[in-house]
Structure 1
């Protein structure tokens, strides 16, 4: 009888120790599921380009987007940075005939980026961008929005390609930079990008050197012509005196 009691007590003690160990030391899968938050960095780096696709309930792609995203937080005139990681980003949203919304949520409840695409006749564009960043417990959250815009206008059935960096000031303390952008909304053929259209920023970057070169050549021609005119004038003046 005493032996059975001792064995029972030993079992109770062993089980109690196991439960305490499990409570104090969660399993790796439980640790992996713990919510994470963005970590702001003091230095700027080039964000990784991610590919994001939004499909309607029938499985048809209504938005296809490729881009790199960097959040810039301004506090006391000092910037901090956070780059969107495609591997920890979830794509959601809604598809409609004239307005579709692509939502990118990342790192648990660490933040999101929402792009609203509108279709007006044969033209598609981004009309609204909202951003939210929650760096972590005890830290300030940042939110902002720009709306009623016609950003990146593109003909329906074509994709817009933009190598240039584009920066949006969503609020006093929050900015979003987008790099290596390519997107198409509403009308995709078999889920693929259509004919590429160059964005305005890339066009301007190409045309500025041409304008600068043409201006320099024009100034040189003016200088040469002025020199020739002045020289001829002096010659004619010399002939008159003789």
Structure 2
């Protein structure tokens, strides 16, 4: 029986052996590398991306529209990396009172996760996680992964009937060595269906209208009482002069 020779597929070799050379269709060679973001010494405006997570029935549950910039501090010097929306993979989960959305680059080179909670018909970010594994800052420098999180009781607190919006954005410190800039920022979680919106949001609007009307009535009563007291005092002063 003749011995068979097995050949490993080039793509598999690239996955198993670092820096393996792959042959392009034009005959030239390219070197396979793990994707690593490149830090830039100069800051620039990040491209705005629109990200969404749907629930089990295909309806939108979470939407985030923002530009993401990672700011890394090494030896008191800032370095910058902007998240490219075209390379982002979106994952998430939608529950009744909890939800999350994760933005991830290939090879988990960078990620940003928002954890949402709902309480008393308001949503907020309860936790934000971020990490970045960039190329070393210099030749011979070691690889570093920067990570951090913010745990907040009610970050970006917003009624479920509304959308959180900030044109100026936010700068969030997730660790001593890393900050996340979100600019501009627009997000909405636990998105209601048309029927739910009618039941919840119109009910909330009626409550607000009732509160406003009550405040107006109380103000009018207060004005009438002040006017009555003022007129009574004027009449009393007139009687005393007579």
* Coarse TM-score class (shorter-chain normalised): 0.5 to 0.7
Query: 1: distance between equivalents of 2:107 and 2:135?
Result: 11
8 Å contact kept, 1:42–1:81: yes
**For each residue in 1:30-73, what CA deviation from the matched residue of structure 2 results, as whole angstroms up to 9, or x when unmatched?**
96985411110000000000000101232121101100000000
Residue 70 of structure 2 is matched in structure 1 by 71
Measured at CA, do residues 73 and 24 of structure 1 come closer, stay the same or move farther in structure 2, by a change above 3 Å?
Answer: closer
Query: 2: distance between equivalents of 1:134 and 1:185?
Result: 29
- Structure with higher Rg: it is 1
**For each residue in 1:113-155, what CA deviation from the matched residue of structure 2 results, as whole angstroms up to 9, or x when unmatched?**
0001110011111111110000137421100011033111111
Q: Give the superposed CA RMSD.
A: 2.5
Query: 1: distance between equivalents of 2:148 and 2:158?
Result: 25
Flag structure 1 segments of 5+ consecutive residues without an equivalent.
1-18, 191-242
Cα distance, 1:186 vs. partner? 0.4
Give TM-score scaled by structure 2 length. 0.64
Number of residue pairs matched by the alignment: 169
* SS class of match (1:72): strand
Of residues 142, 158, 163, the one that matches 1:159 is 163
Residue 60 of structure 2 is matched in structure 1 by 61
Measured at CA, do residues 50 and 36 of structure 1 come closer, stay the same or move farther in structure 2, by a change above 3 Å?
Answer: same
* SS class of match (2:86): helix
Measured at CA, do residues 136 and 155 of structure 1 come closer, stay the same or move farther in structure 2, by a change above 3 Å?
Answer: same
Measured at CA, do residues 157 and 27 of structure 1 come closer, stay the same or move farther in structure 2, by a change above 3 Å?
Answer: farther
Give TM-score scaled by structure 1 length. 0.64
**1:173 pairs with 2:177:** yes
Measured at CA, do residues 116 and 37 of structure 1 come closer, stay the same or move farther in structure 2, by a change above 3 Å?
Answer: same
